[in-house]
Amino acid sequence: MEMREVISTGNDLAAMAAVDAGCRFFGGYPITPSSEVMHTISDLLPRVGGVAIQMEDEIAGVAAAAGAGMSGVRTLTATSGPGISLKAENLGLAQMAEVPLVVVNVMRGGPSTGLPTRVSQGDIRQAKNPSHGDYRSITLCAGNLSECYTETVRAFNLADRFMQPVFVLLDETIGHMHGKAVIPTQEEVKNGIVPRKTFDGAPEDYLPYECEWDQPAVLNPMFKGYRYHFTGLHHDSKGFPTEEIETCRKLIQRLEDKVMAHTDELELNEEFMLDDMTGEEGEVLIIAYGSVSLAAKEAIRHLRAEGIKAGLFRPITIWPSPEKAIKKYTDMIKNVLCVELNIRQYTEEIERVSGRLDLEGLYKVNGRAISPYEIVNKVKEVF
């Protein structure tokens, strides 16, 4: 793969990635600490024939983005936790109508206004269920500057593959971090674009929501001669509202199955210094994600220099969680430390998957980053 080196911030890289991945519409509203995504993409999109609109609020921002997705355009909105709260209803509409769009969420402290200028990973639970009802969220989480770019690119391909919103989580630290990133060339990204499926038969034969139990809807772009209906209601094969029992059951079950039957296409993890772990007494597994994983890696280097064998498991795809990989390492390694900038939001998922209630945790919710030395000291304290 051809690569390039750039000096940038995480937020700017997410905006660059969106444009390189074929995004041609942005609808949003400025909110700390994600505003730079909108600032940058509003400069980049007109150069490639795209449009960026600052709407009157977060609700209108996601509504406009969803409308662009309905028309067949790759589309993006960006925000932080309070903005996701406002976008929730229209995100649910996009899940039900199966409209692809990408949502970049640069996490900050909460609930409510919280700590707007400080770092947090407080939106992990929210990313799993950003709106009400039954569906499966797809959520990716960047752990370094390069992934702010590559995971945003991946999100656009997954949104079109699964026909639903896909979330990319950054956090304030990684969004505002400035440094070198090694990323694919624009040509590499362009060649890797996976467009959404379309129907090319006779218009009278077109049934967009008539699909296999584990497949997404096939929604042709608007204005191409194929007529169908968008609704947030339970709907039939053409998108028109229905309360027919079996039709409703199959629809909602499919919203789950189209994701959960294909987790092999979604899961992506990093395993750092785990190759030599065998389950021996004294080994330590650290589970972390996002910017916290950078501190965890430095901590692991210090621990190993002191003779403590430690390694990192980092989920890049947060939802659906990488159940098999989590189970593999939590079964093998006795000492497990979960490190998060929240109070146990992902730890609860690790407990569910592993069946263990003896996991140790290091959590911080005052808006400050977790340092490598805090992780080192916690490992020495509890193991």
**Per residue in 241-284, pLDDT tens?**
999 999 999 999 999 999 999 999 999 999 999 999 999 999 99
Give the C-alpha distances (Å, rounded to integers) separating 124 from 31, 105, 120.
19, 10, 10
Whether residue 100 is preceded by a cis peptide bond, meaning omega within 30 degrees of 0, is no
Q: Is the peptide bond before 82 cis (omega within 30 degrees of 0)?
A: no
Strand, helix or coil at 138?
strand
CATH of domain 269-382: 3.40.50.920
Domains of the chain: which residue ranges? 3-191, 269-382
Asked if the domains 3-191 and 269-382 are classified in one and the same CATH topology, the answer is yes
The tens digit of pLDDT for each residue in 293-340 reads: 999 999 999 999 999 999 999 999 999 999 999 999 999 999 999 999
- Report which residue type is found at 76: L
The per-residue pLDDT for range 71-112, each reduced to its tens digit, is 999 999 999 999 999 999 999 999 999 999 999 999 999 999
> Residue 349, Cα to own-chain centre: how many angstroms?
16
Superfamily of domain 3-191: Thiamin diphosphate (ThDP)-binding fold, Pyr/PP domains (3.40.50.970)
Q: State the alpha helices, DSSP H only, in the chain.
A: 10-20, 35-44, 58-70, 81-97, 124-128, 145-162, 172-176, 186-191, 245-260, 292-305, 323-332, 347-354, 372-382
pLDDT at 224: 87
Strand 3-9 versus strand 178-184 pairing type:
antiparallel
Helices and strands (H and E) in the chain: how many? 13, 15
* Two tokens, residue 83: 């903005």
**Model confidence, pTM:** 0.97
- Quickly list H helices, 181-278: 186-191, 245-260
